Amino acid sequence: LGLLDGAMFAAALYYPLVSVIF
Amino acid sequence: MVTLRLFAHLREIAGTARVELEGETVAEVLSAARARFGDEFASGLQSAAIWHNGETASPADAVKEGDELAIIPPVSGGSGTMAQGMVDSALVAGLVGLLLLIGTNLAPGPAWWAAGLVLLMAVWSVDIAARLEDRGREPVTLGILTAIVVAVISTHVYGGVGLGFSLYISVAVVLAWGVVVSRYRQLTDVAPSVLIALVATSGTGSLMLTRTIYEPDQHAISIFILAVGLAAVVAAILDRVRAPLLDPYSGTALAAVLGSVVGALIWEEDVVGFVLVGLGLALFLVVGRSLGSILRTGRV
């Protein structure tokens, strides 16, 4: 399930990212 | 001539599953392979198991004309057919995960979304913990699962503060597990467990919070699913098919930006903002994949 690793990491930082940009 | 059979990423690097090489001993054949396929192959060789005519081999073993050496990296699952099976099950799992996210996002209210996230994070954590166990580590799997559940509850109840709290909890739960169960007191087991717990809990909390705050009006979650889903599909294709000018990592990054922009256009959101989001996602996807590869195989 190596493909999921990137997705999980992206999920972890998604809220901080979106809330900084918007 | 000795036949060398290659599996998984070593086969990808070499570009062939079978090669004939000269050598008197196992070590000589392997150094001939290193010389032919380069540094990346050589570093992959370090963690691979070597089999000589179906028996485990040591470097000093003598080889003769017509012998067969199989080089099996730890992630290949042990043989050619197994590797093929794992590739397919990974694809199926990825697809099921994607459909799960789409379905639970469409469902009204946060309950289904939270349940879907917990399931996905739990499956991912158990899978990555199993890979660590394959390498002789003892990840604190139950502690990680507990931390995920706590993260969902605390983020649901306390919002952003709860998300921060759940990060603290995920570290504390995994460390506390070591206090209670003596075999979880090795730093080499605790450190990756804390890392997995942190990614899983913050992933769960972050996506819950994003959906609560930005859906259904601002489509941040729909764009996330589109961008990450597209990136995963592109990465899966590029892992299997060699494309000129595009390796899996840059393909992933491009797909994430493209998915994010297309999503912003579809749902009529701020395109400039989502270009930035796409760039951020591209970076996180690439870093996350490298991080996962470190946890799974000990190498980037």
Closest-CA residue of A relative to B92 is A1
- For residue B80, what pLDDT is reported? 40
For residues B126 and B129, what is the distance between their CA atoms, to the nearest angstrom?
A: 5
Tokens found for residue B290? 């490298």
Helix residue ranges, H only, chain B: 8-14, 26-37, 39-46, 80-106, 110-134, 141-180, 187-214, 220-240, 248-266, 271-297
ipTM of the complex: 0.95
Task: Note down pLDDT in tens along chain B; length 300 residues.
Answer: 888 888 887 887 888 888 888 888 888 888 888 888 887 788 788 778 888 888 888 788 888 888 888 888 876 544 444 444 445 677 788 888 899 999 998 888 889 999 999 999 999 999 999 988 888 888 999 999 999 999 999 999 999 999 999 999 999 999 999 888 888 888 888 999 999 999 999 999 999 999 988 876 678 999 999 999 999 999 888 888 877 788 888 999 999 999 999 999 999 989 999 999 999 999 999 999 999 988 888 777
B273, A22: Cβ pair inside 8 Å?
Answer: yes
Q: Do B151 and B170 form a contact (C-beta atoms < 8 A)?
A: yes
The span from the CA of B115 to the CA of B141, in Å, is 19
**Nearest residue of chain A to residue B238 (CA atoms):** A3
Q: Provide, as residue numbers in chain B, all residues whose Cβ is less than 8 Å from the Cβ of A17.
A: 277, 280-281, 284
Residues in chain A whose Cβ is within 8 Å of chain B: 1-19, 21-22
- Out of B207, B280, B285, the one facing A6 most closely (by C-beta) is B285
Exposed, middle or buried by CB within 10 Å (0-12, 13-18, 19+), for B182?
exposed
Residues B128, A5: C-beta atoms closer than 8 Å? yes
Nearest CA in chain A to B219: A18
Helices B187-214 and B271-297 sit at what angle, rounded to 10 degrees? Answer: 160
Q: Do B228 and A7 touch (CB under 8 A)?
A: yes
Q: Supply the pLDDT for residue B225.
A: 95
Helix (H) or strand (E) holding A2: helix A2-21
Provide the shortest C-alpha distance from residue A16 to chain B (in Å).
Answer: 8
- pLDDT for position B216: 65
What pLDDT shows up at residue B221?
93
* End-to-end Cα, chain A, rounded Å: 32
- B224 CB neighbours in chain A (<8 A) are 10-11, 14
